[in-house]
Amino acid sequence: MKNIKIEINLDVFESVSKLPVSIQKLMDKAHKARDRAYAPYSSFKVGAALQLNSGEIITGNNQENAAYPSGLCAERVAIFYAGSQYPEATIHSMAISAKSLHSKITKAVPPCGACRQVLAEYEVKQNSLIEIYFMGESGKVVKSNSVKDILPLIFDSTFL
Ligand code: THU
C-alpha cells in the first residue's frame, strides 16, 4: 500500500482592499450581480464575475426555481453564458461573492462541487488556468490559482 498526499495552494487576502485593483473591480461586479440574484427559496444570493482575456467582464447570479433542482448556481450561469456568447474566449479569472438575507456571512464561500467540475472543463477547453477569488458578504478573500487546487483528482475527457 502506498499513501499519496495532495498539497493544495490558496492565498488569503485580509479584505477586498488588499486585492489588486483589477480584481477589486471584478469583485465589485460580482457583488452587484449577487444583489440581482433570484433566490426566493434560499435567500442565499451569489454573484460571479468573469474576466475574459479580451477585457470583457461577464457576470451571473444564482437563479432558483420552485422545482428546486431546476435552479442554477451563479458560477455556472456566468460560465455558460460566456461559453455560449464567446466560445473562443479565454477566461482569466473569476470573482465570487455570497450573501445571506438571514445572517451576515464573513467566511469566504467557495464554489460548489458541480461548479468546480464545470470550471475544470473550461480550464481544459481553453488550455489555461482560471484564477478564482471567493468571499462572503465581507471579510477575507480566498484565491485559488486554478480549479485544480479546489478540485484535486479532476475528472476530464481523458478518462472517456
Ligand atoms: N449557490 C451558488 O450560486 N453557487 C455556489 O457555488 C453554491 C450555491 C446557490 C445555489 C442556491 O440558489 C443557493 O446558492 C443556495 O444553495
Residue extents of the structural domains in the chain:
14-159
Residue with cell 479580451: 54
Q: Is the beta carbon of 75 within 6 A of some atom in ligand 1?
A: yes
Instruction: Write down the pLDDT at residue 64.
Output: 98
User: Alpha-carbon distance 101 to 25, whole Å?
Assistant: 23
For the segment 10-29, the average pLDDT, to the nearest whole number, is: 98
For the segment 4-24, the average pLDDT, to the nearest whole number, is: 97
pTM assigned to the model: 0.97
Residue 141 CA to ligand 1 center (angstroms) comes to 18
The string of pLDDT tens digits covering residues 73-121 is 999 999 999 999 999 999 999 999 999 999 999 999 999 999 999 999 9
Pairing assessment for the beta strands 131-135 and 91-100 based on DSSP bridges = parallel
Active site residues: 75
Q: Is the beta carbon of 71 within 6 A of some atom in ligand 1?
A: yes
Which cell numbers in the block locate residue 128? 489555461
Residue 105 CA to ligand 1 center (angstroms) comes to 14
User: Alpha-carbon distance 107 to 109, whole Å?
Assistant: 6
Tell me, what amino acid is at 57? I
Could you tell me which CATH number the domain at 14-159 has?
A: 3.40.140.10
For the segment 34-62, the average pLDDT, to the nearest whole number, is: 98
Mean pLDDT (the chain, rounded)? 97
